[in-house]
Structure 1
Amino acid sequence: MKFSIERATLLKAVGQAQSVVERRNTIPILANVLIEAEGDTVSFRATDLDIEVVDRAPAQVEKAGATTVSAQLLHEIVRKLPDGALVSITDDPAAGRLTVQAGRSTFSLATLPKEDFPVMASSEYTANFAAPAPVLRRLFDKSKFAISTEETRYYLNGVYMHVAEGEDGGKVLRCVATDGHRLARIDAPLPAGAESMPGVIVPRKTVGELRKLLDDDDSEIAVSVSETKVRFAAPAITLTSKVIDGTFPDYSRVIPTTNSRRLEVDAAEFARAVDRVATVSSERSRAVKLQMEEDRLILSVNAPDSGAAEDELSVAYADERLEIGFNAKYLLEIASQIDRENAVFLFNSAGDPTLVREGNDTSALYVVMPMRV
């Protein structure tokens, strides 16, 4: 195998692949990236047995072939090569070596046979559809902050992507994540071909890796879903992942429907005020008290060991006086998701879950549990 490739192109492709590789693994081949050169394309494939990513890049291929080499080592070498360099890569199967050459720099790396590299079995996908990258990016970006990190409730360690009934009665593509303290539910128009899609829980690591595929606003992402796997294919990158084998809870039961006390506030101003008063709170609880009366919101923190803080905002609120406490981190995370100018909070009482919306947008909804303060 022999090919030449631009350093920037190579760095992007190897970077994408090596981020999937687990740093600590007991199977040496899993630390490697499978390089396959053919025609005028080189593909870089990496896997941790749960996720597989394949990145294809244009190159001048002199001799087709395939081998595997340490993903992290190759990435580090390419990262340190000068900008604009043309990198020449040659494989010597007899010696079990891969030579990387750029300018006056030459590296000789140990390889492992390509036959040992595990390729994820292809699945019979029950649904295939395409969606614009910005649509998928919004679905996952706005929901992922609520993914649980608690390993015991493994079925909450991802984003639940499924077909659901929207607020207007039509079908939507929906992503939901919750950790029991807060919940995010984001809807998008249902793409053609997605109607028969089984609901799947996309793991946290996959959601992180997927973000790199969705940066290009103009690209269309081909999505394939089965009961056990999900695949996202951008023009140059394909990401295949196992899904979490578990049942996502009935999240609709925790979404309040009768909350009638309505507070409307500038989302950015609210986030800044929460951040300011939370400065004095103890890390452990980070509880912020919200006190509402007519068109006024007072945010306060009282931390006996470090001090107290208070901040006041002008808001739209016309219901009876209410005091309620929240974890500051949860409020900040929800406020940072709001793209509209105003955030709308719907309360019931100090002990009930609170509903948060983005202005009058019905496609995004957040729920946050209160705290005792």
Structure 2
Amino acid sequence: MNKFVTVEGRALKQAMRIISAVVERRNTIPILNHAKLTHSKAGLRITGTDLDIDAHADLDVIDGSGGEWSACINASILAGIARVAGTMNVRIERADNDLNATITLGDGAAFYEVETMNELDFPEIGGGRGDLIEAFTNGMFATTLAKVQWCISTEETRYYLNGVCWHQTKKDRRFVATDGHRMAICKYAKEGGDTWTRIIPRKTVRIITDHLAGKDVKLFEVDRQNTLEIVAPGLTIRTKLIYGTYPDYVRVLPNKHDFTFDLKRDEIIAAIDQATAISKDRTAAIRFYNANDRVAIERRNLDFGNATVPTSTVWPAGKDGPQAFAFNSRYLREVASACQGEISLRMVDQSSPFSIHDEDDTMTRVLMPMRA
């Protein structure tokens, strides 16, 4: 008896968006280019993995037969078929002892014959589900991670910075990301407990922020060491966490400040763009200095000259007022872009870390200065 399952094209397209985000297209292990389809009484489960992350998308079935069976189909091909299916139903059929699968759109609008691989070769992250760690509602897990995501390091030598540190302190729970030059901290809950940290990898964070927006999420321990299970409606993600000790970021947090600059978000972003217009190097230093008791931004370029942009921000008064200071222009722009409303730039001195605050009182951002 043939084994088949019929699902909605739109549901399959949505599931394959998530599976495709996990599956690496360039891979020397052929089975890892495939998605595993498992039909059972519960419906259709589609699984993708890169050996560090497993994603399981569950779909309702319109029709199906053959009891419980599986097939491994190239994820890119299946995603492409789902994309062109539109509102049509998709029927996936596999005969016994056949290495091919037949996919039909609608009532015969299109037919595809695709090769399959042995489902017994498909690897998955093992381990049983453990205790519930925390539950997030209304998409707050994705939203909160997105607040710090832009600070994740891409430097592979310090691999422990290639993710978001999930940290419970005695007083609160927070997400932290840093690349050593800038840092973002989101204290999303005021309840704490026994201290612990987990480092969620960069790729996992990207999948969460891209695909779990608006969803309720529960996070579980996994019997397998250093693994996290993320459960949302119709979706389960298992991810290995990053081994290693996250640096003691609290030590670089300024515990006081001597001067405050109240910046207008849109104005400072425009000023950065204007000051860097004379150079293709968007990471060069831009200098803040006092120009007639107002903040002015200067970009010096040895090849093309200098750019000066005045702003409406008042330079703190007094004979012992702050000295000029400078930032990496790209880092400052990214910090400003992540802020909401008015920005408070707090300074100890021109060589110490600056703290940056906005209307979101859960957020603290830190930016290291450059030599002016």
Give TM-score, length-normalised by structure 1: 0.90
Alignment-mate amino acid for residue 102 of structure 2: T
**CA pair 313-33 structure 1, distance change in 2 beyond 3 A:** same
Alignment-mate amino acid for residue 85 of structure 1: M
For residues 286 and 337 of structure 1, what CA distance do their matches in structure 2 show?
Answer: 20
- Aligned residue pairs total 361
For residues 78 and 306 of structure 2, what CA distance do their matches in structure 1 show?
Answer: 52
Q: CA deviation at 1:138?
A: 3.0
**Paired position in structure 2 for 1:168:** none
Checking the alignment, whether the CA contact within 8 Å between 1:44 and 1:54 is kept in structure 2 is yes
Secondary structure, counterpart of 1:130 in structure 2: strand
Checking the alignment, whether the CA contact within 8 Å between 2:169 and 2:193 is kept in structure 1 is no
For residues 231 and 292 of structure 1, what CA distance do their matches in structure 2 show?
Answer: 52
Q: Does 1:97 align with 2:93?
A: no
- Deviation string, structure 1 residues 215-260 (Cα, Å, up to 9, x no partner): 12xx321012465011211111111100000000000011111222
**CA pair 230-145 structure 1, distance change in 2 beyond 3 A:** same
Q: Does 1:330 align with 2:331?
A: yes
> Quick one: which of 2, 5, 20 aligns to 1:3?
5
For residues 236 and 196 of structure 1, what CA distance do their matches in structure 2 show?
Answer: 32
Checking the alignment, whether the CA contact within 8 Å between 1:213 and 1:234 is kept in structure 2 is no
Alignment-mate amino acid for residue 368 of structure 2: M
Q: CA deviation at 1:291?
A: 1.5
Alignment-mate amino acid for residue 84 of structure 1: T
Tell me the percent identity.
Answer: 29
> Quick one: which of 215, 239, 245 aligns to 1:241?
239
Checking the alignment, whether the CA contact within 8 Å between 2:43 and 2:61 is kept in structure 1 is yes
**Paired position in structure 2 for 1:222:** 218
**CA pair 126-294 structure 1, distance change in 2 beyond 3 A:** farther
**Paired position in structure 1 for 2:31:** 29
> Quick one: which of 274, 285, 288 aligns to 2:286?
288
**Paired position in structure 1 for 2:354:** 354
For residues 292 and 207 of structure 1, what CA distance do their matches in structure 2 show?
Answer: 40
1:264-343 equivalences in 2 (<5 Å)? 264-283=262-281, 285-292=283-290, 296-319=294-317, 320-339=321-340, 341-343=341-343
For residues 332 and 112 of structure 1, what CA distance do their matches in structure 2 show?
Answer: 48
Checking the alignment, whether the CA contact within 8 Å between 1:21 and 1:48 is kept in structure 2 is yes
For residues 249 and 56 of structure 1, what CA distance do their matches in structure 2 show?
Answer: 38
Alignment-mate amino acid for residue 369 of structure 1: M
For residues 197 and 209 of structure 1, what CA distance do their matches in structure 2 show?
Answer: 26
| Structure 1 moving runs of 4+ over 6 Å | none
Q: CA deviation at 1:125?
A: 3.5
**Paired position in structure 2 for 1:263:** 261
Indicate the RMSD between aligned Cα atoms, in angstroms. Answer: 2.1
Identify the range of structure 1 (25-34 vs 315-324) with the bigger mean alpha-carbon deviation: 315-324
Structure 1: tracts of 5 or more residues without a match: 166-170
Checking the alignment, whether the CA contact within 8 Å between 1:264 and 1:345 is kept in structure 2 is yes
For residues 279 and 28 of structure 1, what CA distance do their matches in structure 2 show?
Answer: 47
Alignment-mate amino acid for residue 224 of structure 1: F
**Paired position in structure 2 for 1:68:** 72
1:32-47 equivalences in 2 (<5 Å)? 32-39=34-41, 41-47=43-49
Identify the range of structure 1 (24-33 vs 130-139) with the bigger mean alpha-carbon deviation: 130-139
For residues 128 and 322 of structure 1, what CA distance do their matches in structure 2 show?
Answer: 47
Q: CA deviation at 1:321?
A: 4.3
Secondary structure, counterpart of 1:125 in structure 2: strand
Q: Does 1:16 align with 2:25?
A: no
**CA pair 206-78 structure 1, distance change in 2 beyond 3 A:** same
1:15-164 equivalences in 2 (<5 Å)? 15-39=17-41, 41-63=43-65, 64=67, 65-81=69-85, 83-102=86-105, 103-123=108-128, 125=130, 127-164=132-169
**CA pair 198-285 structure 1, distance change in 2 beyond 3 A:** closer
Checking the alignment, whether the CA contact within 8 Å between 1:17 and 1:46 is kept in structure 2 is yes
Alignment-mate amino acid for residue 322 of structure 1: Q
Alignment-mate amino acid for residue 100 of structure 2: R
Alignment-mate amino acid for residue 35 of structure 1: L
Structure 2: tracts of 5 or more residues without a match: none
**CA pair 259-190 structure 1, distance change in 2 beyond 3 A:** closer
Q: CA deviation at 1:151?
A: 0.8
